[in-house]
Structure 1
Amino acid sequence: MSQDKFLLNQSAWRLIDESITARSRSALESFAMDDALCQLVGQQESVPVVRTWVHDRTIVLGIQDHRMPFIQEAIQKIKQNGYQAIVRNSGGLAVVLDEGVLNISLIFSEQKSAIDIPIGYEAMLSFVKLLFPEIDEQIEAYEIVGSYCPGSYDLSVGGKKFAGISQRRLRQGVAVQVYLCVEGSGAERAELIREVYETGLQGQPTKFSYPDIQPHVMASLSEILGAQLTVNEVMIRLQLLLRSLTDDIRHGTLTDEELDLYGFYLQRVVDRNQKMLS
């Protein structure tokens, strides 16, 4: 069995489903949650975790994005479009979150053996292919030029990107995160980000090379499949997939002790975000 498949075949998985409960909360809470779970899983105080999360209209900026010469104007633009703006605590560039975008985090421990960065990416790629068997052979992983938050593990079908994978490593924990554009228009989301860059850069030369967004290279899974797919339907697929991977699925939220740790990471994320945006 390849190492990425081995990562998915855990003896137990813990499922933390926040696809409904997190919607009205700040996306900063999700980044804090993954940091807390990274530590818990990394230190083997929890079995590996699958966490799902959805947030209402938010544009998550990367560290480079907040260095745009006209960042305050860009944030105003985001607010005018009815979105919140936050800066994430890991790499990558701006992405759109809304009720049609499902985020999945797979959280593993490196306590017993190291997980190479490519193996983490491949594990999530395998997971997404297992979620969508009807297109698994068409899903490709390579950088889609013109997409927002481009990277070598952009997931696409026929050159249309529907997902992007990132990783965060902390205290021997590895969080591999994917955002899946499930519902709605991929191009409309990309147009939003294109406007953010246009407003934030205003043609000024910068050391960093920001993406030249081409909205037509992005699509949702509903658009790719040519059928209306909902976040709730993907959640049902995910739960069935987990059942095929293990007999031991543990549901439930954080314990009181785990909540204390989460509070620590949330404060850190909130303080950092305020500093970035001030």
Structure 2
Amino acid sequence: MKNWKEVVHHTTFRYLDHTEKNFFHGRAYTALTSFAVDDVLALSAAGTNDNPALRLWVHPDTVVLGIPDARLPHLEEGIQLLSNHGYRAIVRNSGGLAVALDTGVLNISLVLPDVRGLSIHDCYKAMVSFIQYMLRDLTDEIEAYEIVGSYCPGDYDLSINGRKFAGISQRRVKDGAAIQIYLDVEGKGRERAELIRDFYDVARKEEETSFDYPEINPSVMASLSELLGIKLTVDDMKQRVLNALEDVSEELVSNDFSEDELVQFEKRYEQMVKRNEKTGMNGQDSRSGGKD
């Protein structure tokens, strides 16, 4: 497997910690906002001389659905079940299937410029090696392969002893790529899996579908805290991300969005809203006078 340095050759990174944001330039900061932000970062980092970006984000009680999930035969009933459990649902614009987010889940977006010479697998492998490096003092047992029975299964599921704690998706915008990973840091991974299992049970029932949705086995999922047997928090993990990024870079910059980026953000945000409206989801975030 390629390591970080074989894929990422840059020495300067744009670093954005959005984990405690409630608003973003007049928008309520929800998962819809996050996916629009990553699109803009990918657009901004499309040139050969542009710097990559690394962004941290957290959203409370949200189920992020994949595009195939929006075609489930009883989607409205599934959304109602999630709502009854206090979860909001949105459809994202990157690959994958349903994922449960809450305040115990840290999301990391690695945005790379000029990926024309990099395969999708190269980008996934860069993220895997970064996570392994970040946790190297705690474990050397992190593996990347599909965990059957997990939600949002894929070739780059991250697991320890066969139990998944993270999944990766990827979105390419022009010549930039956003590699997004969720890390179940604290809390009960099994309970998150049970929620997604129940969502599929209700939204699919026993109908035949053209898409092969996962049969979820909650016992194959856990948080890092559970797997390592130590108390880890999202704040702990944020510091580990920053420490690892400082190790592999020479300079970190934390530039706010430029005027051009804000224009692109509005366009990308509206695209996310329309994507959700087309699938019958209420994707519109309310306007707010709150500050960033």
Same fold per TM (> 0.5)?
yes
State the match for 1:226 in structure 2. Answer: 229
> What is the Cα-based RMSD across aligned positions, in Å?
1.8
Matched, 1:80 2:84: yes
2:169 match: secondary structure = strand
Q: Note the 1:199-214 alignment, pairs <5 A.
A: 199-214=202-217
Contact 2:4 2:130 in 1 (8 A): no
State which of 108, 125, 134 in structure 2 corresponds to 1:104: 108
CA contact (8 A) 2:50 2:113 kept: no
Provide the rounded CA distance (Å) in 2 between the counterparts of 1:118 and 1:46: 21
Name the structure 2 match of 1:10. 10
Q: Pick the aligned partner of 1:67 from 55, 66, 71.
A: 71
Deviation, 1:193, is 0.1
Q: Which amino acid aligns with 2:192?
A: R
When structure 1 is superposed on structure 2, of 206-215 and 134-143 the one drifting more is 134-143
After superposition, residues 108-123 of structure 1 pair within 5 angstroms as 108-110=112-114, 114-123=117-126
Aligned twin of 1:30 = 34
Worse-superposed segment, 188-197 or 222-231? 222-231
Displaced runs of 4 or more, over 4 A:
none
Measure, in 2, the Cα distance between the counterparts of 1:110 and 1:9.
12
Matched, 1:54 2:58: yes
1:174 CA displacement: 1.0
Instruction: Give me the whole-angstrom Cα distance separating, in 1, the residues matched to 2:50 and 2:37.
Output: 13
State the alpha-carbon separation in 2 of the partners of residues 212 and 134 from structure 1. 34
Question: What SS class does the counterpart of residue 45 from structure 2 fall into?
Answer: helix
Query: TM-score, normalising length from structure 2?
Result: 0.90
Structure richer in helix, relative to its length: 1
Offset at residue 22 of structure 1 (A): 5.1
Deviation at 1:120, TM superposition (A): 0.4
- SS of the aligned residue for 2:137 comes to helix
| Deviation (angstroms), 1:6 | 3.2
Distance 1:162 1:3 in 2: 20
Q: State the distance in 1 between where 2:37 and 2:112 align.
A: 14
Equivalenced residues, count: 277
How far does the alpha carbon of each residue in 1:131-150 deviate from its partner, in whole angstroms, 9 at most, with x for none?
A: 10134520010000000000
- Larger mean CA deviation between 180-189 and 36-45 belongs to 36-45
Q: Is residue 123–residue 179 contact of structure 2 (8 Å, CA) maintained in 1? A: yes
Is 1:133 the counterpart of 2:133? The answer is no
In 1, distance between residues paired with 2:237 and 2:138? 14
CA distance in 2, matches of 1:181, 1:168: 21
Distance 2:84 2:55 in 1: 31
Structure 1 length as normaliser, TM-score? 0.95
Deviations 1:118-177 (A, max 9, x none): 110110001101110134520010000000000000000000100011111111001111
Letter in structure 2 aligned against 1:215: P
Preserved contact between residue 109 and residue 174 of structure 1 (Cα < 8 Å): yes
Q: Unpaired segments of 5 or more residues in structure 2?
A: 282-292
Moved more, 45-54 or 241-250: 45-54
Percent identical among aligned pairs is: 45
> What residue is the counterpart of 1:237 in the other structure?
240
Q: Distance in 1 between matches of 2:60 and 2:273?
A: 18
Confirm whether residue 198 of structure 1 aligns to residue 198 of structure 2.
Answer: no
Segments of structure 1 that go 5 or more residues without pairing to the other structure are none
Question: Alpha-carbon deviations, 1:47-79, whole Å to 9, x = none?
Answer: 100011100110011111111111010011010
Aligned partner of 1:228: which letter? Answer: K
Question: Cα offset for 1:179?
Answer: 0.5
